[in-house]
Structure 1
Amino acid sequence: MNSIARLTDIFAALKDIKASSLASPLLIFMILGMMVLPLPAFLLDIMFTFNIALAIMVLLVSIQTHKPLDFAVFPTVLLLSTLLRLSLNVASTRIVLMEGHNGPDAAGKVIEAFGHYLVGGDYTVGIVVFIILVVINFIVITKGAGRIAEVSARFTLDAMPGKQMAIDADLNAGLIGEEEAGKRRATIAQEAEFYGSMDGASKFVRGDAIAGILILFINVIGGLIIGVLQHDLDFATAARNYTLLAIGDGLVAQIPALIISTAAGLVVSRVGTDEDISAQLAGQLLSRPQVLILTAAIVGFMGLIPGMPHIAFLLLAGALGGGAYLIIRRQRQSATKPPAAPAVQPEVQDASWDDVIPVDVLGLEVGYRLIPLVDKAQDGELLRRIKGVRKKFAQEVGYLPPTVHIRDNLDLRPNGYRITLKGVAIGSGEVSVGYYLAINPGNVSGTLPGAVTNDPAFGLPAVWIEPSQREQAQMSGYTVVDAGTVVATHLNHLVHSHAAELLGRTEVQQLLDRMAKESPKLVEDLTPKLLSLSTLQKVLQNLLEENVHIRDMRTIVDALAEHAPRVQDPHELTALVRIALSRAIVQQIWPQAGELQVMALDSGLEKLLTHALQGNPNGTGIEPGLAETLLREASGASKRQEQVGLVPVLLVPASLRTLLARFLRRALPQLKILSHAEIPDSSNIKVTSILGARA
């Protein structure tokens, strides 16, 4: 019973196996079996015929392929076909040496046909034809195809990093998805593997050609010895029988080998297009009637020379001329063909929402001379730098900015570029591809020849220099960057400057979704129960407007959840969140966490501002005279702080911080304004200057 159950399980398992999965193992076992087991002449004829059919099939598939990877299994086919020919050589050698004394048909009809009819029964002619075929296959086709495969493999490997980075740039730019990127990476890897495999597989064909020569001489010499010594044949009869059989055996193997080698050359030597080889030949070789006419004239002239075969040359010249005439006639018919009747115009569709083209949140437009910087086919360096800008922004600020959509704009100057936010230009500049921008940070030791300009990101004086001047500029104290870095730096500066505007509801929701994976209850209690998504967005935007990163979303959400039940105003919530983030804010301004050197308000000015705020609780404006005094004092104190290498920070009461931050932000973007409540208790404060009122 156990045996029956086991047999049942085996048969059930065999049913699940697909027939296609058994084809390759059976073929390999059959090939190996032919090397060991003797085959009758009839079965040998079938196998030789199958070998020829396989070679023709491979050649036709190679002609019909559009790209080398369309026939990616070709290296394996090349190995199996070579192994099949060698196994047939072994099987035919066995039957030739065992039955060759019985006559030229002892090894089957196929070998007899190749050895007798194809070479006219003359073994001298057969040997010469065989050697010529081997030389053509070994020296010309196989060697050339192997060299092409070797060079293609080398160049494919060298191009892999650039292609991978281009795929990453497309992925980061939003041009393709993750699935498409994975397919392209797999295609690049398959190309390298294919050409490498073809380079190695060509060695099998080369070895097969050498083996064919050796097998021929072994069959001839072995047949003479066996025929004369064992079967008592005279030398002439033995030489004729065994030599013709050996030649037929060699030809029946070398002709398929020549076809397979030709297919290999076609696969590795073609340039990938959307057409097969037949369409390429017809479209590129026979599409110019002028060429056919000139060729017909030259061939016809050669046919008129005395002593030349007039019929052959003139017949071919006539055929070429006729072909040119038919092509010209077809082209004229196409040109003079009356225009087709205008098709009935379909009814104009009414406008729909599909006609509304959304505006890119963040865009980069370039002039035509800057296209190489963003062209993935030319390995544009700017694509990689934009990827780095987005990654650095996400790490520093705390959320992933929108994808930068890149397009060319013929309305721009050839070397110009423009950065847009929601369709509106927020920055522009010009760069020179192939040159370097030497930026003067303020302490250079000399001047440089070149086109004087300004750094588009920060407005520093700069000059465009030749690549040969790069080392000299660096030694003189200049900051030297290439054109791609100039654009990327400008983009990075603008993205950070407009971080609040780039934070939309989609990004806020993504932040909450990401945080919900770690603290689902905290997020669930905050929104939408206590705080709407729009209020949370406004709080985060307020923080970003004052260059406060939002990486610590847990602290932000904790603070909002604590105060949201009694406070709903976004500005008040922002002030409370800033207090919760006080340590991070102080560390961002003073990374060394030493003594905090700040500016402060004079008591009189502080009272005036407090009184103005009481009269204007919304903080929408300050009396003009007081505003002018405050701005003048803050500007002078900030410059003095910067001159001594300190960050300009103004320390004010909590009730004034929001009002002063709004008022001074535009005029003095470098000035940081902190409230007393935002300074940690463990920090030491030193007041370096006091802003006093002069009214």
Structure 2
Amino acid sequence: MNSILTLLRGQGAAYSKLLAGPILIVLILGMMILPLPPFVLDLMFTFNISLSIMILLVAMFTRKPLDFAAFPSVLLFATLLRLSLNVASTRVVLMNGHEGPDAAGKVIEAFGHFLVGGNFAVGLIVFIILVIINFIVITKGAGRIAEVGARFTLDAMPGKQMAIDADLNAGLIGEAEARKRREEVAQEAEFYGSMDGASKFVRGDAVAGLLIMVINVIGGLIVGVGQHGMGFGEAAHVYTLLTIGDGLVAQVPALVISTAAGVVVSRVATDQDIGQQVMGQLFSNPHVLFLTAGVLGLMGLIPNMPHVAFLSLAAILGATGWAIYKRQQREMEEQARMPLEQETAAATTAVEASWDDVSLVDLLSLEVGYRLIPLVDHTQGGELLQRIRSLRKKYAQDVGFLPPVVHIRDNLELRPGDYRILLSGVEIGKGSAEPDFWLAIDPGGIDQAVQGVPTQDPAFGLPALWIENGVREKAQAAGYTVVDAGTVIATHINHLMHQHAAELLGRQEVQQLLDRIGREAPKLVEDFVPKTVSLSTLQKVLQGLLAEEVPIRDMRSIIETIAEYVPRIVAQGGTPDATDLLPQVRRSLGRALVQQWFEGKNELRVIGLEPRLERVLGQAISTSGALEPGLAETVLRETQAAVEQQEANGDPPVLLVPTPLRTALAQFLRMHIPHMAVLANSEIPSDHIIRVTAVIGGQA
């Protein structure tokens, strides 16, 4: 029973929040149509005044504009409420105004008689002044601030989005925090845009107040003289006082809400509300208070001046300044003592070390000289962070796993234009870049040279030139590949990430791969690790593929192959090992291996081994597991010649060998010819045609 009551109360609260807005709109529109008795008018006018005071106080205590994001809608509702009250009160004044000053309620009577002393001329002047203050000063200023704020906020959105992306790419924030910040940026733009439009409501309300007052005075004279037989002077006095009271009771809340709008749009977002900001900044300097007190004191000594007022305020300001000065002195003395106390505490606690003293090394990082800082600083228009993020995404799509975040920092020990790339704190690549120049890379066959500073492409070692911006189009027309400094560094990072892919794949990345597959095919990975194979063995298999630049996108085939062959190895009394599983996995990925080097081709033009050399290599590897120095030198020399012949013919440098020789030859040749691939006969699909176009150890 209690749970049912709790559920009903929760649903009731939800429905009350859901229906609050529509009910409020219906009530506001109803007040414009249905006649209200004077007592209800008093209650509604009192509620309108209290609502305006609440809005002002909420605006005063907000720390940033988005803390009161509903303000434009609240402003609209408050304006509609005032206008509906004006319509309702006008109806009552014109219908019952001849009965006396309280015919429209006590609130209007109080504002028409007590606040202006029953003098309709004074009331008229006060009303017009309030309208001028609201319309020309507060509303116009707040509207202009909202308009400029909306424009600047929209202009700053791309920079803020890039800053969020840079922090996300550098690992300073997570995806959830980045999403939250992006939403705040969008909400801020929408808020200022809404405030720009909502300020027009207040301006229109002020104009409507003037028109309503004029209409009510004229209408009152017509009704009083024509319908109730009142004299012209009596009708003018009665209806004008009631109209002024009605106008004042509406304009005072309007002035308060306009002030709240100015407070919201004119404040600067900090961790303090507007009162703390004003008090902390206006009264923070005692010298300002001393000088102000001195000026007031001098003015108070002038004859015929109000000495008591000037000298009293000068004394108050001087005492306040002295109190602030003494407080600041105490704070400075405490701050001076704090370093000594901290040093003493550090001396007593420095004896014991803790795990907090251990600094972990970033897996992948980039260090730049100070001239390259603009390339990685989004505030200076640097695009390298965005490019690194894009290449990480492209790398994940091509290779099959998400590489670690590239942590970027400046290093003053480097030369100004140098950079270096580190893997687990160890340098794996370095180069130099010129932020204000373009790198023109010579792909070969350039006939027309351009003027520039000779250098080398840091990623691939190709001859290149650093050229000025004016020579860029000429270099492109001559056949050079022209890129900017940020692209040079990003390309170098991407090249090294592919070279060291096996080292970038850790156990955490392997587990994340399994979790990713498990969401789509849970049965495939169920009990796969550690029941079928250990996580360490799976990692070594994947690293073996990545070491020869074989993508691991097809994790489904890799897992199915391992799951198929592990029971066979166990049945034969063996232990599943990456050395045994890797050839089987490569065989299952045969089509992907062939497509990687022979995309769209059915005929495979490859390098082959001379049969006698093939037998010699098989005997050497089976007996000693390695090649003799003389044999190794011969194989390397002839392989390089065969690779050059392949590249001259436009064919890929792929060596096709028997399955028992593939692993050993691949490890040997990869150290000397890293851009060459070694495939086994068993890895070639049966529907492809093999044509040997170059032979190692003889002529074809």
Give the TM-score of the pair, scaled to structure 2: 0.87
Q: Where in structure 2 are the equivalents of 1:508-519 lying within 5 Å? A: 508-516=510-518
Instruction: Specify the alignment match of 1:229 in structure 2.
Output: 226
Instruction: Specify the alignment match of 2:693 in structure 1.
Output: 688
* C-alpha deviation, 1:208, in angstroms: 0.9
**Does 2:192 correspond to 1:195?**
yes
Q: Is the 8 A contact 1:163 1:379 kept in 2?
A: no
SS of alignment partner, residue 437 of structure 1: strand
SS of alignment partner, residue 138 of structure 1: helix
C-alpha distance in 1, partners of 2:23/2:640?
88
C-alpha distance in 1, partners of 2:694/2:617?
18
C-alpha distance in 1, partners of 2:50/2:82?
13
* C-alpha deviation, 1:590, in angstroms: 1.5
SS of alignment partner, residue 77 of structure 1: helix
**Does 2:633 correspond to 1:624?**
no
My pick for the range that moved more, 500-509 or 443-452, is: 443-452
C-alpha distance in 2, partners of 1:550/1:353?
37
C-alpha distance in 1, partners of 2:511/2:280?
56
Instruction: Specify the alignment match of 1:577 in structure 2.
Output: 585
Give the AA of the match of 2:592. A
**Does 2:665 correspond to 1:660?**
yes
Distance 1:313 1:431, change over 3 A: farther
Instruction: Specify the alignment match of 1:49 in structure 2.
Output: 46
**Does 2:683 correspond to 1:678?**
yes
Instruction: Specify the alignment match of 2:674 in structure 1.
Output: 669
Distance 1:23 1:674, change over 3 A: closer
**Does 2:601 correspond to 1:599?**
no
* C-alpha deviation, 1:522, in angstroms: 5.2
Instruction: Specify the alignment match of 2:362 in structure 1.
Output: 360
C-alpha distance in 1, partners of 2:480/2:543?
36
* C-alpha deviation, 1:316, in angstroms: 5.2
Give the AA of the match of 1:676. N
Give the AA of the match of 1:185. R
* C-alpha deviation, 1:203, in angstroms: 1.9
Q: Where in structure 2 are the equivalents of 1:230-269 lying within 5 Å? A: 230-269=227-266
Q: Where in structure 2 are the equivalents of 1:179-328 lying within 5 Å? A: 179-296=176-293, 319-328=316-325
Give the AA of the match of 1:426. I
My pick for the range that moved more, 128-137 or 486-495, is: 128-137
Distance 1:265 1:518, change over 3 A: closer
Q: Is the 8 A contact 1:515 1:523 kept in 2?
A: yes
* C-alpha deviation, 1:250, in angstroms: 1.1
**Does 2:69 correspond to 1:67?**
no
Distance 1:34 1:592, change over 3 A: closer
SS of alignment partner, residue 608 of structure 2: strand
* C-alpha deviation, 1:449, in angstroms: 5.1
SS of alignment partner, residue 607 of structure 2: strand
* C-alpha deviation, 1:683, in angstroms: 3.0
Q: Where in structure 2 are the equivalents of 1:69-108 lying within 5 Å? A: 69-108=66-105
* C-alpha deviation, 1:498, in angstroms: 0.8
Q: Where in structure 2 are the equivalents of 1:472-491 lying within 5 Å? A: 472-491=474-493
Give the AA of the match of 1:383. L
1:442 equivalent among 439, 444, 450: 444
Distance 1:439 1:283, change over 3 A: farther
* C-alpha deviation, 1:633, in angstroms: 2.1
Instruction: Specify the alignment match of 2:31 in structure 1.
Output: 34
Q: Is the 8 A contact 1:598 1:687 kept in 2?
A: yes
* C-alpha deviation, 1:501, in angstroms: 1.3
My pick for the range that moved more, 311-320 or 413-422, is: 311-320
Q: Where in structure 2 are the equivalents of 1:165-176 lying within 5 Å? A: 166-168=163-165, 170-171=167-168, 173-176=170-173
Instruction: Specify the alignment match of 1:609 in structure 2.
Output: 617
Q: Is the 8 A contact 2:159 2:379 kept in 1?
A: no
* C-alpha deviation, 1:438, in angstroms: 3.0
Q: Is the 8 A contact 2:101 2:242 kept in 1?
A: yes
* C-alpha deviation, 1:492, in angstroms: 1.1
Q: How high is the sequence identity, in percent, across the aligned residues? A: 63
Instruction: Specify the alignment match of 1:6 in structure 2.
Output: none
* C-alpha deviation, 1:259, in angstroms: 1.2
Q: Where in structure 2 are the equivalents of 1:529-540 lying within 5 Å? A: 529-540=531-542
C-alpha distance in 2, partners of 1:228/1:522?
94
C-alpha distance in 2, partners of 1:450/1:294?
63
Q: Is the 8 A contact 1:38 1:94 kept in 2?
A: yes
Give the AA of the match of 1:646. D
Distance 1:141 1:629, change over 3 A: same
Query: What runs of 5+ residues in structure 1 fail to find an aligned partner?
Result: 1-8
* C-alpha deviation, 1:516, in angstroms: 4.5
SS of alignment partner, residue 672 of structure 2: coil
Q: Is the 8 A contact 1:604 1:693 kept in 2?
A: no
Instruction: Specify the alignment match of 2:654 in structure 1.
Output: 649
* C-alpha deviation, 1:234, in angstroms: 2.0
C-alpha distance in 2, partners of 1:41/1:526?
80
SS of alignment partner, residue 268 of structure 2: coil
**Does 2:436 correspond to 1:428?**
no
SS of alignment partner, residue 421 of structure 2: strand
Give the AA of the match of 1:570. A
Give the AA of the match of 2:610. D
**Does 2:22 correspond to 1:17?**
no
Describe the superposition over 1:22-75 as per-residue Cα deviations: whole angstroms up to 9, x where unpaired.
654554444334333433434433332322222122112111110111111211
2:142 equivalent among 121, 140, 145: 145
Q: Is the 8 A contact 1:505 1:534 kept in 2?
A: yes
My pick for the range that moved more, 670-679 or 37-46, is: 37-46
C-alpha distance in 1, partners of 2:682/2:111?
102
Distance 1:334 1:552, change over 3 A: closer
Instruction: Specify the alignment match of 1:5 in structure 2.
Output: none
* C-alpha deviation, 1:21, in angstroms: 5.6
**Does 2:594 correspond to 1:586?**
yes
Q: Is the 8 A contact 2:363 2:404 kept in 1?
A: yes
Distance 1:81 1:627, change over 3 A: same
Give the AA of the match of 2:538. L
Distance 1:140 1:416, change over 3 A: farther
Give the AA of the match of 1:674. L
Distance 1:349 1:105, change over 3 A: farther
Instruction: Specify the alignment match of 2:502 in structure 1.
Output: 500
Q: Is the 8 A contact 2:645 2:694 kept in 1?
A: no
Q: Is the 8 A contact 1:166 1:379 kept in 2?
A: no
C-alpha distance in 1, partners of 2:136/2:376?
45
Q: Is the 8 A contact 1:630 1:693 kept in 2?
A: no
* C-alpha deviation, 1:174, in angstroms: 4.3
Give the AA of the match of 1:47. M
* C-alpha deviation, 1:257, in angstroms: 0.6
C-alpha distance in 2, partners of 1:285/1:303?
23
SS of alignment partner, residue 429 of structure 1: strand
C-alpha distance in 2, partners of 1:326/1:175?
43
* C-alpha deviation, 1:589, in angstroms: 0.8
Distance 1:332 1:450, change over 3 A: farther
My pick for the range that moved more, 156-165 or 213-222, is: 156-165
* C-alpha deviation, 1:260, in angstroms: 0.5
SS of alignment partner, residue 63 of structure 2: coil
* C-alpha deviation, 1:661, in angstroms: 1.2
Q: RMSD value over aligned CA atoms?
A: 3.5
C-alpha distance in 2, partners of 1:454/1:302?
77
My pick for the range that moved more, 644-653 or 24-33, is: 24-33
Q: Is the 8 A contact 1:293 1:320 kept in 2?
A: yes
* C-alpha deviation, 1:196, in angstroms: 2.5
Give the AA of the match of 1:90. V
Give the TM-score of the pair, scaled to structure 1: 0.87
1:556 equivalent among 534, 555, 558: 558
* C-alpha deviation, 1:238, in angstroms: 1.7
Q: Is the 8 A contact 1:525 1:561 kept in 2?
A: no
Query: What runs of 5+ residues in structure 2 fail to find an aligned partner?
Result: none
* C-alpha deviation, 1:510, in angstroms: 3.3
Instruction: Specify the alignment match of 2:421 in structure 1.
Output: 419
